[in-house]
Each structure stands twice: as structure tokens, then as C-alpha cells.
Amino acid sequence: MWATNLKVVGVVLGTLALYTLIANKIPQVQSEVPQTLTLGANVTPEQLVAAGEKVFNGIGGCPTCHGLGTRAPNLLTDEKGEGPIGARCGKREPGKSCKQYLFESLDQPGAYVVKGYQPIMPVMTKQLSPQQIWAVIAFLESQGGTVDVTASDIPAEGGAGAPGVSPGPTGPGLAGGSTDPKVIIQAAGCLACHKLDGQGQVIAPDLTHVGSRRNAESIRKKILDPTSSIAKGYEKLAGIMPKTFGTMLNAAQLEALVQYLAAHK
């Protein structure tokens, strides 16, 4: 009987040891807690690139999709003969510099979905700090291109800020504080999910006739607190809309946008 007991113990321990061994032989990846990234006023491009690489491979989780080339374009290797992302970013959108294109891609991922891929990328400016965003941009530029991100691109606090744009005379806000609703809608990336006047995506409710469904107060509340009310049929998308417009828009912009949308009967 002892022989049988020993055999049973041997089989059990052997099986456990095999599974543990295999799990320890594969590449070991630990999910780290995001660390605050502090970049001084004298930060060099090399420091930015090094910091960006860490964010790209770590907290950013970018290689999950962009390192494979199946879910999203591969950023580190050649894509359709155009080279890595640093080499091709400046050619992706006419009139946009590499830096602008990369920032907008991180801020409004739905705006530039590469043909053949799904619009699955989350809004990275919601997940990363401005320092982290700009460090990633520097790292991506370094992949076959020239790094032109500088400390002046990185806002001291608040939003990540679009490249080459400084806060307008009416205080901080999107698109330089412009009160043109169309400019605000473009800068806020609303059309990445919503359709308006025939433009944009149909992921979230169509805003073309939003004024007939909601009054100005309801629209204002919805922009400031997106979970305050969910349109029927879109319950599963609850929580997708950023909650940050209250801090991104100044009062004049918010009011201009609300009135513009409310007029869309």
C-alpha cells in the first residue's frame, strides 16, 4: 500500500512541478503600478525618448496591439513599405506635422483609423498624464524619424494640450479657447463617436437632431457628466464618453457648444 501511496504522491507532485516549471520558463511580464513621470524644463530629447519607451512598453500597454500588427498597425517595424512610425507619421495627414498627427491620434484615436483596422483604441489622454503622452510621442518620433518634442510642448498642468497651441485670451480651453462650435467639436474629437450633419462615426447617438431630444440644460449636463443620462439603446456604451470636458472647455466654449447643439432640431 505504501508503494501505491508513494506513486500517487509522485504523480501529483510531478504534475504540479511540470506546470510550475513551464509557467516559469515562459517570458515573465509583471503588470506594474503606473509611476508619476516628472520632466523638468531642461529635459533633453534623449530623456524624453527613454521615458517614452518605458511608458510605451509599460503603463501605456501599447505593444498589446501595436506590437503585433494584427489589431493595430505595427509602430516599431515597417508598415506597408513606409517604414516605422517615426518615418511615416508626417505623411499620414496632409498639412499635419508628425508631432500633431501623433498627438491627435492619442487624443482622438477615432479620427485617424488606418484602413483595415477597427476603431478599438482607447483615448490615451484619459489614461496617461501630459508628461507621459509627450514622452510617448518623442519615443514614436525616434522610430525612424526626428524627435522635435521639447519641454515647451508639455503643459505644466491641466490637459495635454495640442502641439503648437497656447491657451487663448479667454483662459485655458480646447482649440486655443476658440468659441466656434465646429472648431470645438473637431478639437474635442466628438465625431470620433458621434455623427453630426453627415460627418463622424455612428458608435454613439447621432447628434444631428439632438436639439429635438434634449434641451440646452440637458445637453450641458450630459457634456459635464456623461453618465447622468444614457440614451436608450446605448446603455452598454455607458462610461465610454470622457468625463473631462468640464475641465477641458472654458465657460464660453461650453456655452457656445451647448447652444449650437441645442439648435440642431
Partner 1 sequence: MSDVSLLVQAAADTTRAYGEFPLIGARAAVWIAAEVHLMFAAFVLGVPMFAVVTEAIGIFGGDERYDRLSKEFTRLLLVAYSATAIWGAILVFFLATLYPRFWAYLTAVFGPSMWAYAMLFFVESFTLYLYYYGWDRWKQGRAKLGHWTLGILLNVWGTIVMFIANSWLTYMMSPPRDITPTTDPATIKLWHAIANATWMPINVHRLIANVVFGGAIVGAYASYRFLAARTAEERAHYDWMGYVGNFIAMSALIVLPFAGYWLGREIYQYDQSMGITMMGGFMSWLWVIQAFLIAVLFLTGNYYLWIGMGRIPGAERFRPYTKWLLVILVLGAIVWGTPHTMIADSKELAAMGGSHHPFLGALGVMSAKNTAVNLMILTTFLSFLLYRRANKRPVVPWARTGTLIQGAMFALAAGIVLFYGIRGYFVEAIVRIGFSVYQVLAVLGCILCVTVIDILMGRGAQSLGVIKWGQMPPRSQYALFILAVTFTWLMGLMGFARSGIRQYWHVWQVVQDTSKYAATPALGYASKMISVCVLIFLCLVSFVFWLGGLAEKSTFVASGGRGGGAQHVGH
Contact between 90 and 148 (Cβ < 8 Å)? no
Q: How far apart are CA 138 and CA 99, in angstroms?
A: 8
Quick one: 123 or 262, whose CB is closer to partner 1? Answer: 123
Cell of 160: 495635454
By CB under 8 A, tell whether 218 contacts partner 1: no
By CB under 8 A, tell whether 118 contacts partner 1: yes
How many residues bind partner 1 (CB under 8 A)? The answer is 46
Q: How far apart are CA 151 and CA 153, in angstroms?
A: 5
Quick one: 53 or 153, whose CB is closer to partner 1? Answer: 53
Q: Please give the residues from 62 up to 81 whose contact with partner 1 meets the rule CB under 8 A.
A: 63-65, 67-71, 74, 76-77
Quick one: 129 or 250, whose CB is closer to partner 1? Answer: 129
Quick one: 12 or 263, whose CB is closer to partner 1? Answer: 12
Quick one: 209 or 243, whose CB is closer to partner 1? Answer: 243
In a 3-state reduction of DSSP, which class is residue 135? helix
By CB under 8 A, tell whether 238 contacts partner 1: yes
Contact between 196 and 190 (Cβ < 8 Å)? yes
How many residues belong to the chain? 265
Give me the least distance between CB of 64 and partner 1, in Å please.
Answer: 5
| Options 38-46, 121-129, 209-217, 254-262: segment touching partner 1 (CB under 8 A) | 121-129
From 57, 97, 150, 208, residue interacting with partner 1 (rule: CB under 8 A): 57
By CB under 8 A, tell whether 27 contacts partner 1: yes
| Residue among 23, 85, 28, 78 at smallest CA distance from 53 | 85
Q: How far apart are CA 262 and CA 264, in angstroms?
A: 5
From 6, 114, 120, 263, residue interacting with partner 1 (rule: CB under 8 A): 120
Q: CA 55, 60, 65: angle at the middle one, nearest 5?
A: 125
By CB under 8 A, tell whether 263 contacts partner 1: no
Between the alpha carbon of residue 172 and those of residues 147, 190, 220, the distances in Å are 27, 19, 19
Contact between 254 and 188 (Cβ < 8 Å)? no
Binding site residues, partner 1, CB under 8 A: 1, 4, 7-8, 11-13, 15-17, 19-20, 22-24, 26-34, 57, 61, 63-65, 67-71, 74, 76-77, 118, 120, 122, 127, 129, 227, 236, 238-239
